[in-house]
Amino acid sequence: MRLYVNVDHVATLRQARRATEPDVVAAALACEAAGADGITVHLREDRRHIQDADLPALAHALGTVLNVELAAVPEIVTRVATLRPFQATLVPERREELTTEGGLDLGRNVTALTHAVEVLTRAGIRTSLFIDPDVATIDAAATLGVSAVELHTGDFSHTWQRSPTALATLARAARHARERGLAVHAGHGLDYQNTGLVAALGDIEELNIGHSIVARAITCGMHQAVREMRDLIRRAQPSC
Ligand code: PXP
């Protein structure tokens, strides 16, 4: 199972002062040195954290791979297609939200999404869709010709302590997506308490984790924060 670390919050801190530190590239390299398999950033339309210049700087510096999250809006799609990162993950975006809330609505946004998938795929980028863990949505995603889906773990991360339902939903969705030939990723709200449960589901091959790792890094450093997450994922994975 791959761990991609989302370093948006490093840029959030930098942008709080419109300063040059903390350095997003240095943080990403520290994640890699601690065992991250890739780095994820979200270039939002409002540029609240990651800035345009961060993308080529990261793409140039990384020894692993870059996964860029983006909304299906032409300006951003063109920018990402030109950069040609290893992976692009299409996500829904609303200006007033604190973070990405809910997965893509594949019924409503099908024209823009189809176009974005075509442009990104034509540029040679592995393309993924961030969706809720719902069988009908997975079936719709499979028709769009993407390589992967990232299952939204927000519901799970809010309810796992009270109820096992969201984990079972996630497990069913992951199995269904794999049976449909899609690579299965997951993320949102995963932390040092709940990630092990998701890592134990055999059908998921990539986790995208940001907030909890960057938050932990503030007290113990990025290297230790990533290393702890990397180790707990490894311990939780089913042995084959
Ligand atoms: N995956 C996607 C598609 C996201 O939008 C985010 C949040 O930026 C994450 C994963 C990471 O979520 P968190 O910061 O809660 O770990």
One pLDDT digit (tens) per residue for the chain, 240 residues: 999 999 999 999 999 999 999 999 999 999 999 999 999 999 999 999 999 999 999 999 999 999 999 999 999 999 999 999 999 999 998 766 776 678 999 988 899 999 999 999 999 999 999 999 999 999 999 999 999 999 999 999 999 999 999 999 999 999 999 999 999 999 999 999 999 999 999 999 999 999 999 999 999 999 999 999 999 999 999 875
Q: How far is the CA of 206 from the centre of ligand 1 (A)?
A: 12
Query: Would you tell me how many other CB atoms lie within 10 Å of the CB of residue 8?
Result: 21
- C-beta separation of 89 from 69 below 8 A: yes
35's tokens? 């065992």
Predicted confidence at residue 227, as pLDDT, reads 98
In the residue annotation, 158 being an active-site residue is answered as no
74's tokens? 């032409």
How far is the C-alpha of 58 from the C-alpha of 55, rounded, in Å? Answer: 5
Instruction: Find out whether the beta carbon of 14 lies less than 6 Å from any atom of ligand 1.
Output: no
Predicted confidence at residue 240, as pLDDT, reads 53
In the residue annotation, 42 being an active-site residue is answered as yes
Predicted confidence at residue 94, as pLDDT, reads 78
Predicted confidence at residue 91, as pLDDT, reads 97
How far is the C-alpha of 64 from the C-alpha of 38, rounded, in Å? Answer: 5
Instruction: Find out whether the beta carbon of 42 lies less than 6 Å from any atom of ligand 1.
Output: yes
Q: Of 240, 232, 148, 224, nearest to 190 (Cα)?
A: 232
Predicted confidence at residue 95, as pLDDT, reads 67
Annotated catalytic residue within 32, 69, 93, 150: 69
In the residue annotation, 179 being an active-site residue is answered as no
Instruction: Find out whether the beta carbon of 8 lies less than 6 Å from any atom of ligand 1.
Output: yes
Supply the DSSP symbol for 236.
Answer: H
Is the pTM here over 0.75, yes or no?
yes
